[in-house]
Structure 1
Amino acid sequence: MKGGGGGGGGGAVLVTTGKRRWRSLVIGVLFLVILSMLVPLAFLLGLHNGFHSPNPNPNGYVPVHKTSIVSDLKIYDKYENSETFNYAENYRSTHINDLVKKLAPNISKNSKIAGTVADSGRGGVDENENCELKFGSYCLWRREHREEMKDTMVKKLKDQLFVARAYYPSIAKLPSQDKLTRALRQNIQEVERVLSESATDVDLPPGIEKKIQRMEAAITKAKSVPVDCSNVDKKFRQILDMTNDEANFHMKQSAFLYQLAVQTMPKSLHCLSMRLTVEYFKSPSVVMELSQADRFSDPSLHHYVIFSTNVLASSVLINSTVLCARENKNQVFHVLTDGQNYFAMKLWFFRNTFKEATVQVLNIEQLNLESHDKAILIHMFLPVEYRVSLLSVDGPSIHSKMQYISVFSHLHYLLPEIFQSLTKVVVLDDDVVVQKDLSALWDINMGGKVNGAVQSCSVSLGQLKSYLGENSYDKNSCAWMSGLNIVDLARWRELDLTKTYQRLVREVSMGEESKEAVALRGSLLTFQDLVYALDGVWALSGLGHDYGLNIEAIKKAAVLHYNGNMKPWLELGIPRYKKFWKKFLNQEDQLLSECNVHP
């Protein structure tokens, strides 16, 4: 009996222990279920100031949730306020950042010289500096192209809807305000229905003014009712945060798209290049290369060298040079391009003649230059532009000035070997247009100098010290500009400047600096004390970014340089300067109309 009783007692203990375990399991499951319900509920109720979702309405109207957008389209990572963007937003924008870095060259991580030095795509400025410095030419373009708002009434309705929703939850809790609650709910639903069908003021239905007045009257009455101010304040803060996020997003998105537009070939020009390439291979019987090899290497003629991948820009440049010359029999143009655009260039200059001038198209990838790095010939390096923003103090005020410096690329230092029989050439960037005869350049005695160029004395080499290093050079020397350069190849070979440039390039860590930044340092130091300063009337720069150029000065200049983001063949080009470039465009070619080329 005792044994049986002991066994029964042990069974009771096991049952009790099992029940306790079961109860603990049930409590744990219930706790997890409640917790899983409370977390999303907390987000729905907007219990934290960082949440932007409106409170659910107990009476059933449908709330509008924040649009699902990335609020940090990170373009200029040096401009951002760390309190504005959280980690999650920065993580989501990583892909955009990588894309922007690929689109624009970068000098270094610390872009400061007497204010700022940066390339055409990036810059380094304090967040308190003005919009022009922060986004470059984008702000100027935005002001120039500002359009009248077409959704003023729509925006007003949205504002009213936000305010009504902020007051509605508090008003709905007051039993004495049933009439006002119904009025608010009815107006909210009507405005929601209107906004669901209208994006601009043109889409709004007739009688919208009366709806706005009724909503305004309901909001005014709601404001006069004593309510829980903390709830209303929270709602307005949510609205403010959401509006700021969206405004910041659209501003950065616009700047990004602008930057993308200025660095991407327009569809019409891409079409032109592709059509020319196809036509080239469809006409194998056409003799593309004329037997003019003797002219290509005759040092007594005037030789012009152009590095370009843009068919239209090269054509305008050559056409303007030829039309403005008193004599063009002695003009020879050498267009150096890459393999992708080589055949398009060949066919274009076969179809289009430029009086008695001769045009030679060369593919850099097919040049047999054994003494140079083959990797340089694989890539088409064009003249490099850097945006320079300088701050000057004038009494209590601080003024900023922005301009672009353009220098030779790596390929320019192959000129003495590419044109071994020539002694002097004029190098032209493809973003220039010629307005006067350039033959006088060949009569200039440069006194042993190698590079005849217009100088930009607003930027001295001393201000570029962080990029030029501690080399021995004149800190007060002016930076020179590419665009229009007369180069003494004989003197170049005598001083072996190509070797000097290569040595300067090797001194820079390519892991830290971009190839464009290396080109800036190498070019400015290679020609130290070897630059012949051309008179400023030879070339006027700034037509690709400066809205304030004097029209009379533009008309007097021999060469106009569209340095900057707003190239004349782009839709973003400055309209008042486009006409000086466009008048040299031959629009009679059928392919231009078929590809819708209308710069």
Structure 2
Amino acid sequence: MKGGGGGGVSVPGKRRWRGLVIGVLFLVILSMLVPLAFLLGVHNGFHSPNPDGYVPVQHSSVSVSFLTLLLDLWDAHVLAIFLILMSSYFFSSFNWISEWCLYITKSSVQGTNNVAKVEGTEYVKGGIDENENCELKFGSYCLWRKEHREDMKDSMVKKLKDQLFVARAYYPSIAKLPSQSKLTRELRQNIQELERLLSESATDPDLPPEIGKKSQKMEAAIVKAKSFPVDCNNVDKKLRQIFDLTEDEANFHMKQSAFLYQLAVQTMPKSLHCLSMKLTVEYFKSTSLDMEPSQANKYSDPLLHHYVIFSNNVLASSVVINSTVMHSEESKSQVFHVLTDEQNYFAMKLWFFRNSFKEATVQVVNMEKFSLDYHDKATLSHMLLPVEFRVSFHNFDDSSTQDRTQYLSIFSDVHYLLPEIFPSLKKVVVLDDDIVVQKDLSALWNLDMGGKVNGAVQFCSVTLGLLKSYMGENNFDKKICAWMSGLNILDLARWRELDLTKSYRKLAREVSVGEESIEAASLRASLLTFQDLIYALDGVWALSGLGHNYGLDIQTIKKAAVLHYNGNMKPWLDLGIPRYKRHWKKFLNQEDQFLSECNIHP
């Protein structure tokens, strides 16, 4: 075959060259039948027992997703692999099998973890993906974690775990190569060494100084292992085993995280406990405290404006009273009744003696001193606060197939004792201790409720019909809106006339067939007790959701008379939503001596 320098190639030579190329390509394609059959066998091996007798175990849905990912990777790259094999088959012999195994191993790990990569390990600063999508309304912890992220303190620990992951995947295949006993021993020693170190270390400072050299030794051993052809079935088996173990560990930590989060939001912070204890000790150290008995005549005067707060939190109840008084045009007519348990009674007593709220009167009541037949002391102390429910339901009017979740705040059992606790009062306004008042509330006392008992803001995005699973088989109007505690004006005279306390007790004792929690029974009883007896307050009176909803409009917040921090993220907790906290903090006397001593800085 000759080529002319001036630009011509003889026709016979050109034809011979084309014929040779076609023949070579034909032989290449034929020679690919065996490798392709092997690849198809591997592909089918994901679904059927392997030749060595390994039968895949049944995996959870997460494991199935991992398997689907591997198949997707195969489908996406099979053409590319085919073309590469055609060009390199005669030069690399069967080395491509090892490279293909390595590729799917790397791809599967990288594809299922957008934070850490086995090859070229990368870690997001703070341990949180900046592109992580958080559910605005009910994924509150996700957003809180992003706002309070810190630099990673375990980047080397994570790198070592990744190296251990890869080494374990390759070790069974290397161990089967008789000529690589030295490499097998090296891998085994490195694996054992890293396992020992990681069992004793959670953060980088826990690691020994020479950890860098150990990591380099492991990396060198992994590079050597990758240079040998390995059986894909062995790698696949090991990856499955490691993934199952990792899945179990992830589920454990997820449950543990959820438990610790609930514990954090339901437990009194150490600083607030310190405040309560210091106030209690100071109360008993004081030899004489003038508790102004002259104010006692106001406690039962029906002509004054009486506000009731159920609380075991000194700071929370103080903010409620302070914000109400600060926005009142006439504080002299205001009487606040703080109902608490015996444990916090003396702390409350001293706090409200030391702090004045214009001309308003504050009475602290120990609920456990009442001679009430309905509750014993042990039960009473745990049922002071309103009960918050996170309810899930499906809205059939919505095209979405997902369930909706909302927060409802409802009276506790103790709220139904109000007519007995204040027998001389005809009307009271009940304020939850997780609210902030932004406007004068005196207009509530002039409302004509038309025979209704409970003036409350209704939550019409949740109707009783949507809560059918909570309501049981009782007769009720499915179109009635749920109501919220937080700000409620109660006509106690009408309450006594209808004997609603008796009605509530009867409904609360009714338990449907099967298991049912006390909370679910309480929710149903509360909603049914006030069925057709709710006086709907205008929505501008109270805005709820500041304890769980990150998406509230700033202008709506400014217009609301009362801000209700219902939800887990109370403003006095570290978990509280920062941009809503300032509305609460400005009514707190942060220069108080006891707050400084207990290091309280909400």
State TM-score, norm by structure 2: 0.71
Tell me the residue number matched to 1:441: 444
Of residues 435-444 and 166-175 in structure 1, the stretch that sits farther from structure 2 once superposed is: 166-175
Tell me the residue number matched to 1:516: 519
| 1:384 Cα deviation after fit | 0.8
| 1:345 Cα deviation after fit | 0.9
Write the deviation string for residues 77-106 of structure 1: whole angstroms up to 9, x where unpaired. xxx98999xxxxxxxxxxxxxxxxxxxxxx
Give the whole-Å Cα distance in 2 for the aligned partners of 1:81 and 1:133.
26
Tell me the residue number matched to 1:352: 355
CA RMSD of aligned residues (A): 3.4
Matches within 5 A, 1:361-400: 361-369=364-372, 372=374, 374=376, 377=380, 379-392=382-395, 397-400=400-403
| 1:479 Cα deviation after fit | 0.5
| 1:261 Cα deviation after fit | 0.7
Give the whole-Å Cα distance in 1 for the aligned partners of 2:220 and 2:594.
62
Tell me the residue number matched to 2:570: 567
Give the whole-Å Cα distance in 2 for the aligned partners of 1:173 and 1:505.
69
| 1:580 Cα deviation after fit | 0.8
Give the whole-Å Cα distance in 2 for the aligned partners of 1:377 and 1:206.
57
Letter in 2 for 1:270: H
Tell me the residue number matched to 2:500: 497
Matches within 5 A, 1:250-329: 250-329=253-332
| 1:165 Cα deviation after fit | 3.7
Matches within 5 A, 1:139-538: 139-177=142-180, 180-181=183-184, 184=187, 199-200=202-203, 215-216=218-219, 218-227=221-230, 229-369=232-372, 372=374, 374=376, 377=380, 379-392=382-395, 397-508=400-511, 512-538=515-541
Give the whole-Å Cα distance in 1 for the aligned partners of 2:463 and 2:225.
64
| 1:390 Cα deviation after fit | 3.7
Tell me the residue number matched to 1:24: none
Tell me the residue number matched to 2:78: none
State TM-score, norm by structure 1: 0.72
| 1:316 Cα deviation after fit | 0.8
Preserved CA contact (<8 Å) 2:548 2:566: yes
Write the deviation string for residues 289-331 of structure 1: whole angstroms up to 9, x where unpaired. 5321211111111110011111111011111111111221111
Give the whole-Å Cα distance in 2 for the aligned partners of 1:424 and 1:459.
28
Give the whole-Å Cα distance in 2 for the aligned partners of 1:414 and 1:81.
50
Which structure 2 segments of 5+ residues have no match? 1-53, 65-132
**What is the SS of the residue equivalent to 2:414?**
helix
Give the whole-Å Cα distance in 1 for the aligned partners of 2:145 and 2:495.
44
Give the whole-Å Cα distance in 2 for the aligned partners of 1:189 and 1:410.
58
Give the whole-Å Cα distance in 1 for the aligned partners of 2:166 and 2:360.
71
Change (3 A) 1:335 1:511: farther
Give the whole-Å Cα distance in 2 for the aligned partners of 1:380 and 1:187.
57
Change (3 A) 1:151 1:272: same
Preserved CA contact (<8 Å) 1:453 1:482: yes
**What is the SS of the residue equivalent to 1:291?**
helix
Give the whole-Å Cα distance in 2 for the aligned partners of 1:440 and 1:420.
23
Write the deviation string for residues 90-135 of structure 1: whole angstroms up to 9, x where unpaired. xxxxxxxxxxxxxxxxxxxxxxxxxxxxxxxxxxxxxxxx996998
Change (3 A) 1:83 1:339: farther
Preserved CA contact (<8 Å) 1:451 1:532: yes
**What is the SS of the residue equivalent to 1:508?**
coil
Give the whole-Å Cα distance in 1 for the aligned partners of 2:530 and 2:397.
33
Write the deviation string for residues 391-415 of structure 1: whole angstroms up to 9, x where unpaired. 4578875455432111111111111
Q: Which has the higher contact order (CA 8 A, sep 6+)?
A: 1
Change (3 A) 1:379 1:231: closer
Give the whole-Å Cα distance in 2 for the aligned partners of 1:527 and 1:236.
59
Tell me the residue number matched to 1:31: none
Give the whole-Å Cα distance in 2 for the aligned partners of 1:199 and 1:509.
48
Give the whole-Å Cα distance in 2 for the aligned partners of 1:399 and 1:190.
48
Of residues 376-385 and 240-249 in structure 1, the stretch that sits farther from structure 2 once superposed is: 376-385
Give the whole-Å Cα distance in 1 for the aligned partners of 2:179 and 2:155.
36
Write the deviation string for residues 259-294 of structure 1: whole angstroms up to 9, x where unpaired. 111111111111111111111111142123532121
Change (3 A) 1:528 1:135: closer
Of residues 548-557 and 502-511 in structure 1, the stretch that sits farther from structure 2 once superposed is: 502-511
Preserved CA contact (<8 Å) 2:137 2:550: no
Give the whole-Å Cα distance in 1 for the aligned partners of 2:394 and 2:514.
30
| 1:587 Cα deviation after fit | 1.4
Letter in 2 for 1:575: P
Give the whole-Å Cα distance in 2 for the aligned partners of 1:188 and 1:468.
57
Give the whole-Å Cα distance in 2 for the aligned partners of 1:251 and 1:514.
24
Of residues 211-220 and 530-539 in structure 1, the stretch that sits farther from structure 2 once superposed is: 211-220
Write the deviation string for residues 166-208 of structure 1: whole angstroms up to 9, x where unpaired. 4335434534335644764676578678768875457778998
Change (3 A) 1:243 1:469: closer
Preserved CA contact (<8 Å) 1:364 1:380: no
Give the whole-Å Cα distance in 2 for the aligned partners of 1:373 and 1:204.
56
Write the deviation string for residues 539-570 of structure 1: whole angstroms up to 9, x where unpaired. 00001111111111111111000101111111
Preserved CA contact (<8 Å) 1:414 1:498: yes
| 1:498 Cα deviation after fit | 1.9
Give the whole-Å Cα distance in 2 for the aligned partners of 1:176 and 1:425.
88
**What is the SS of the residue equivalent to 1:459?**
strand
Give the whole-Å Cα distance in 1 for the aligned partners of 2:338 and 2:62.
48
Letter in 2 for 1:240: F
Preserved CA contact (<8 Å) 1:135 1:255: no
Preserved CA contact (<8 Å) 1:49 1:238: no
Give the whole-Å Cα distance in 2 for the aligned partners of 1:394 and 1:513.
28
| 1:458 Cα deviation after fit | 0.8
Preserved CA contact (<8 Å) 1:133 1:402: no
Tell me the residue number matched to 1:68: none
Write the deviation string for residues 22-72 of structure 1: whole angstroms up to 9, x where unpaired. xxxxxxxxxxxxxxxxxxxxxxxxx9999xxxxxxxxxxxxxxxxxxxxxx
Letter in 2 for 1:236: L
Letter in 2 for 1:235: K
Residue-pair matches, total:
478
Change (3 A) 1:235 1:492: same
